[in-house]
Amino acid sequence: MSLLNRVMHPRRPVMAAVRGLAAVALSVMVAFALPGAAHADTTVNTNSTGTNNGYFYSFWSQNSGQASMTMGSGGQYSTTWNNVTNFVAGKGWNPGTTGAVTYSGSWNCNGNCYLSLYGWTTNPLIEYYIVDNYGNYNPSSGATKLGSVNSDGSTYDLYRTQRVNQPSIEGTATFYQYWAIRQAKRTGGTITVSNFFNAWAQAGLNLGTPNYEILATEGYGSSGSSNITVSSGGGSTTGGSTTGGTTGGTTGGTTGGTTGGTTGGTTGGTTGGTGGSGCSAAFTNSSDWGAGFTGAVSVKNNGSSAINGWTVKLTFPGNQTVTNLWSGSYTQSGNTVTVTNASYNGNLGGGASTSFGFNANYSGSNGAPTVSCTTS
C-alpha cells in the first residue's frame, strides 16, 4: 500500500460511529478525584461525543479496548493507546470558530501519530487538519503541495487529499481533506486558526459552515500517550502565504500581517475601528496577488459584559469587491461591505474576540478600508 493510500483510505469513520450512538450504549468508567476536588475525571474507551466541563469532546477508536481518554477540568484530557488500529480523541468546540486556540501539555508517540487541530465543515463537506506534531510518518506523503503559510513561529505546508465514498459526519460521502503541516514540530503554543483558513482560501480551498473542532490526539498502527489542555485566545495577526506559485504575505515585496506593504503598486495593511465600551474591529490584508487579496478582520468585545451579536462595516477607498466570506454573512453596496456575525461567533464574553475572513477582487490601487463595529 502506498504512503498516500495510508493517508486517504484507512481514516477513522468518526461520525459513522457517532450516528449509531442512539443504538449503542456508552461504556464509561468514572475515576473519582481526590477528596475535596470539584469534579470527577471521566474516562471513555468506546466511541462517543458530548460535553465535558464546558468543552465539546469526541472519542473514536476503530477497535475497542486499544485506546482510552480521561477528561479532567476545563479543556484538559489525557489519552493512552497500545498497538491501536486507528483512534482519534480530543476536546474543543462545537461548532468550531476561526478564533485562536492555545494548548499545552505532553505528547508521546511510538509510530504513526498526529497532534493537530482537527475539524469539519459542511456546505462544502471538508475535513481539516492543522498538524503541529507527528510521529514517523508525515501525513502529506505522496500528496501535492499547494503552498505554505507562515504562522505562529513556523512555516506550515498546505495540501489537499480526497476521500471517495468514505465515512464522514454526513454518512458515507466523497469529500476533501485540507492539511496544514508544521515544519518545526512542537507540542504546545497558539494556533491562529484564521491564518490557515485564509491561506487555504487563497489556494482555492474554501471551507463551509463550521461543525466541531478539537485539539486532537490521533494514532494509527502505533502506541503512545498524551496529556493536553486546550483553551481559546491568543494568536498572531501575521499569516503571509505563498500559494500555487503566487507570492504574498511576507515575501515577494509584500509585508502582510499588521505592517501593511506594497505589491505591484498596491497598498494593503491594517486598519482598526474603535467601539468604546461596545466592540472594535481591525482589518489585515493577509495576502495580495495584484488583482485580488485575502482580508482578515478581528472583532473584539471591549466591554466587561457579554454581547449577543455584532456588525462590522468596511468602507473601501477603491473598487474592491468581495467574492466570498467565511465566519459571517455580508452584503455589499458600492464600496461598503456590511458583515454580521455567524450563528456561532456572535456571543462574545467580556474582552473576548473572534474573526472572519474574505476574498476580494480589485483593479488599480488596494487601499485599506475604514472599519467600524457595532453591537446588537
Grid coordinates 467600524 are at which residue? 372
Q: Which of 200, 193, 150 is nearest to 179 (CA)?
A: 200
Cis peptide before 124 (omega within 30 of 0): yes
Nearest Cα neighbor of 367 from 212, 225, 279, 260 is: 260
170 is catalytic: no
For 349, the grid coordinates are 464574553
Output the CA torsion 227→345→308→297 (10° steps). 120
β-bridge pairing 189-191 and 101-122: antiparallel
Torsion of CA 185, 191, 197, 198, to 10 degrees: -90
Which is catalytic among the residues 127, 132, 157, 213? 127
CA dihedral (174, 47, 178, 108) in degrees, to 10, reads -150
| DSSP sequence for 262-306 | EETTEEE-EEEE--TTSEEEEEEEEEE-SSEEEEEEEEEE-SSS-
| 365 close to 290: Cβ distance less than 8 angstroms | no
Distance CA 313, CA 297 (A): 11
Angle at alpha carbon of residue 175, lines to 143 and 100, rounded to 5°: 80
Dmax over CA atoms of the chain, in Å, equals 68
Contact (Cβ atoms closer than 8 angstroms) between residue 173 and residue 200: no
Cell of 358: 474574505
CA 135 vs. chain centroid, Å, equals: 21
- Cell numbers at 229, concatenated: 489542555
Spot the catalytic one: 41, 152, 213, 218: 218
- 209 within 8 A of 122, measured Cβ to Cβ: yes
Q: Cα separation of 369 and 315, whole Å?
A: 5
Q: What one-character-per-residue DSSP string does 89-143 give? A: EEEEESS--SS-EEEEEEEEEEEEEEEEEEEEEETTTEEEEEEEEE-SS-TTTTS
127 catalytically annotated: yes
**Residues annotated as part of the active site:** 127, 218
